[in-house]
Structure 1
Amino acid sequence: MTQSLNSAQLVCWRAYIESSQRLFNQLEDELRATSELSLADYQVLVLLSETPGQRLRMGELAGQLVFSPSRLTYQISTMEKRGLVTRQPCPADRRGSEAVLTAAGLLTLQQAAPQHAASVRQHLMDDLSEDELTVLTRVFERLGERLAPTRPSATDSPTSSDLTTS
């Protein structure tokens, strides 16, 4: 049988869940009010803006966003309709497709970024000491590494979903 959380662990878990959800909601509300972007829209734009050629294979983008392939397909479709991104065949591998940042998407990101950064500072960063930032960074990086899916080795064969969503 699985061991229950002790009282300190339970307090920590609840504080994390409640505060992270409140933070997410606050940031999402402010971002939508000032830019009409969701946090998912914003993160897609950020990731694409940071990559050479401002394009990423759909599978790689889904992995970085921690999205299922179907969720990413829906996300990119809604952003395509708004002119923020396009979907194009991969130049090196026509079986896959890439999400590509448009000029309108880059401009939207550039306009939204200052206010979003101010919101992140106001609702999270300005409340933390340097020591707290260091500890939280270490904790979340360790958790992220531990929870990240293992990458298939070069000898593993791709699945059909890898071929259609990457």
Structure 2
Amino acid sequence: MNALLASRTARPIQVEFGLSEADCVVLTELTQSAADDGWMLISELVGCLGWEKSRLSHQLSRMEKRGLVVRKEYADDRRTALVAATYEGRSVISEATPRQAEEVRRLFLDHLSPAQVVLLTEIAERIIEEVRAASETP
């Protein structure tokens, strides 16, 4: 179900805004979680996304070439880098987000009763809580 919904909700975003699902995930995280100045440590972004560092590095390279993000060295530690969404990246994700929400609503939420949405929310929160707890255990 997750894979089906992800591919179906991603399709119009790709066509209308030129953003892949991975682009959306990265830009959303950067626009919501970055510091006030817009920059985020790449290591923090890796942690937030739960991706391998190499996967994120390749994704950021593709996005940099398209002008969606920019990277720079971290002044306090040259082995570390920072990343930020560009004006273009922030603009396109702010335009795409309502369209993506519309697709999720149309393909998923519109088929559930209010009680089912509440139950689904409770189940999802419980699973997220348990998965996070398990990942913190050595």
Using the size of structure 2 for normalisation, the TM-score is 0.86
Give CA-to-partner distance per residue, 1:111-164, whole Å, 9 cap, x none. 212211211111112222222222222222222222232189xxxxxxxxxxxx
1:78 aligned onto 2:78: no
- Structure 1 unmatched runs, 5+: 1-18, 153-166
CA–CA separation in structure 2 for the residues paired with 1:40 and 1:57: 18
- What do you get for the CA RMSD once the two structures are aligned? 1.8
- Structure with higher strand content: 2
Q: 1:41 aligns with which of 12, 18, 23?
A: 23
Give CA-to-partner distance per residue, 1:48-97, whole Å, 9 cap, x none. 11133222211221222221111111111110010000111224433311
Partner of 1:109: 93
How many residue pairs align between the two structures?
134
CA–CA separation in structure 2 for the residues paired with 1:72 and 1:119: 26
Please list every run of at least 4 consecutive aligned residues from structure 1 whose deviation after the TM superposition is greater than 4 angstroms.
none
Q: Which moved more, 1:31-40 or 1:121-130?
A: 121-130
Partner of 2:118: 134
- Partner of 2:54, secondary structure, is helix
- Partner of 2:77, secondary structure, is coil
The CA deviation at 1:30 is 1.6
- Structure 2 unmatched runs, 5+: none
Using the size of structure 1 for normalisation, the TM-score is 0.73
- Partner of 1:75, secondary structure, is helix
